Amino acid sequence: MTAYYKELQAADPYRIRLPYPFSNYDRQLLTMLYQPMIGAEAIALYLTLWAEAEGAKEEATHYTLMNTLGNPIAKIFEARIQLEAIGLLKTYRKNTDDRCFIYELCPPLDPKTFFMDPLLSMFLFSKIGETSYRRVRDRFLVHNEIPSDFDEVSRTFTDIFQPVHAKAGYPPAQQDLQERKKGGYESDFEFDFTLLRQGLSEQLVPRRVLTAVIREFISKLAYLYGWGPLEMQKVVLLAIEDDYRLTVEGLKRAASEYYKLTVSTTAPQLVQMQKETPKLPETEGEEVPKTKQDELLAYLETAPPIQVLRDIADGNEPLPADVQLANQLVVTHGMKPAVVNVLLQYVLLRTDMKLTKAYVEKIASHWLRKNVTTAKEAMELARVEHMQYMKWKSEGSPTTVAKPFTGNGNRKPLREEKLPEWFHNKDQARVVKTGPKNDSLEVEKQKLLAKLALKKGKGG
């Protein structure tokens, strides 16, 4: 699978297409039937796109979704492809220099179609178990069926209406109107129906019974149970009725019975395929070392700034003013979220967890003029310009910056300046010639510890 960063970036814009208004009933189907299969994060993305589509229609960037959902771009991409696979989302991409997306929301299947589908019904069964499966299925049963002693007496259209040939012109040409499309997922099953027919006599299984619907259902059953044409011949013979009819219900029942007799009494499970672990966007062919620095870089490249603010504050929710400042840097000034993450880390740990707006904007202005676009570039520039940034900080502060600890036992530093963890990993960064070496800065870097503790797996 292509690494996600080649397919989706936080700065990519998107629009949403809602073919018609969805209902509260659709929400129930999403929650009860689809959420157990694809998880809460995928459903949260769907509901967020649904809410956006019913409101503002303007274009937005994926950074907005990162902020709304509190997830990095990698998790949003993972949720998106799950929605696509299950048939709830269609994605259209414009492949130009300014890449953008259109997300078309698709409705969930109605309960009857869902539970008759062998893949979806088995997928749900394997996720929630038999007891919950029966309870969910019973929730959508029709409880007000028409009694058998009632006959329908409804009038037909032609009973009431008739055409009148008058010179009244014609209605205008029809434009594209809202349409209740049939939901469902797309699949690409390869099944040899020619070989299937060779083992079935025309007398027992007439060719006419293999309609398009039945053929599609046979393909799904073969994929679910891992059978070829020879096994499906036996299933078809078990399912064919006395009047030479072949139904979806009969095929599903026959396949289940044949599987229990020949393979196992435990139903097969559907699981997500294993995918390549996304790699950092390095030069093609370059081997990426699996180091702590790389994990930190991946975290800063993929996490939304609001999550970085939470992690620095030990999981506490950031203040609205801090979130607004981060959003302003991304949305208004066009800074990449990864660059903003490095800036937030650097400033917060340099200023004893105070996010001073003027100080942030001064460094941000410098990075914008230097055209910094990646977390790695931002880290290197922060190292190179550290002394200048210290000077800017002291100019904007009423107190003098404490001198680094020199080793004198009779003197203690007034305050130890903290720096991000990546600041000290200079050996893994590209060497930039910046002039004479500053010995006091080297001593300071060796003595100081980073505050931020990265959670395992944050690199995505």
Whether residue 123 contacts residue 137, with contact meaning beta carbons closer than 8 Å, is answered with no
pLDDT band at residue 408, thresholds of 50, 70 and 90?
Answer: very low
1 has a pLDDT exceeding 50: no
Residues in the chain: 460
- Which residues, listed in sequence order, are joined to residue 89 by a DSSP beta bridge? 105
Percent of the chain with pLDDT over 70: 75
> CA of 351: how far to CAs of 232, 304, 399, in Å?
70, 21, 12
Domain regions of the chain by residue span: 4-110, 187-268, 292-447
Q: Could you say which DSSP state residue 431 is in?
A: P
Q: Please, what's the b/e burial string for 119-140 (b: 16 or more CB within 10 A of its CB; e: otherwise)?
A: bbbbbbbbbbeeeebeebbeeb
Q: What local confidence, expressed as pLDDT, does residue 96 receive?
A: 77
pLDDT for 440 beyond 70: no
Question: Which of 149-153, 187-191, 274-278 shows the lowest mean pLDDT across its residues?
Answer: 274-278
What are the tens digits of pLDDT across the range 47-75? Answer: 999 999 988 778 898 988 988 898 888 89
Q: Pick from 257, 187, 243: which is nearest to 215 by CA?
A: 187
Query: What would the mean pLDDT of 211-220 be, rounded to a whole number?
Result: 87
**Closest by Cα among 28, 12, 113, 109 to 62:** 12
Q: The tokens 């032609």 sit on which residue? A: 158
Q: Which of 64-68, 86-90, 385-389 is most confident?
A: 86-90
Residue that the structure tokens 């435990």 belong to: 266
Between these two residues, 352 and 276, which has the higher pLDDT value? Answer: 352
Residue 450 has pLDDT above 80, yes or no: no
- Give the sign of the dihedral formed by CA 422, CA 423, CA 424, CA 426: positive
Q: Give the architecture-level CATH label for domain 4-110.
A: Orthogonal Bundle (1.10)
**Across 5-30, average pLDDT:** 88
Mean pLDDT, rounded, of the chain: 77
pTM score above 0.75: no
Q: Residue 179 — pLDDT band, cuts 50, 70, 90? A: low
Mean pLDDT, residues 172-186 taken together = 66
261-304: pLDDT as tens digits? 888 777 777 766 655 444 444 434 444 446 777 778 888 887 88
Name the amino acid, one letter, at 401: V
